[in-house]
Amino acid sequence: MTDPKKSITEEQRQKVIRQRNLVLALVLGAFVVLFFAITIVKIRNGTA
């Protein structure tokens, strides 16, 4: 038998997936900004 407490609806599952994808996109965007900033600093300092 399935436990009713552990039963997850498709809507709840999609919500969790959407939230996880949003967090992953934000982390990826932060890395892009970080690498861009490091590159700009290196170019300005003439070390690139």
The domain in which residue 25 lies consists of: 16-48
Query: How many domains are contained in the chain?
Result: 1
pLDDT score at 7: 76
Q: Does the residue 29 lie in any domain?
A: yes
Greatest CA separation found in the chain?
67
Q: Does the residue 20 lie in any domain?
A: yes
pLDDT score at 3: 57
The count of C-alpha atoms lying within 13 angstroms of the C-alpha of 23, restricted to the half-sphere facing its C-beta, is 6
Q: Does the residue 5 lie in any domain?
A: no
- Compute mean pLDDT per 10 residues along the chain, 48 residues long, and list them: 70 95 98 96 85
pLDDT score at 46: 85
pLDDT score at 44: 92
pLDDT score at 17: 96
Question: Which amino acid, one-letter code, is at 18?
Answer: R
Q: Does the residue 11 lie in any domain?
A: no
pLDDT score at 48: 62
pLDDT score at 4: 59
Q: Does the residue 6 lie in any domain?
A: no
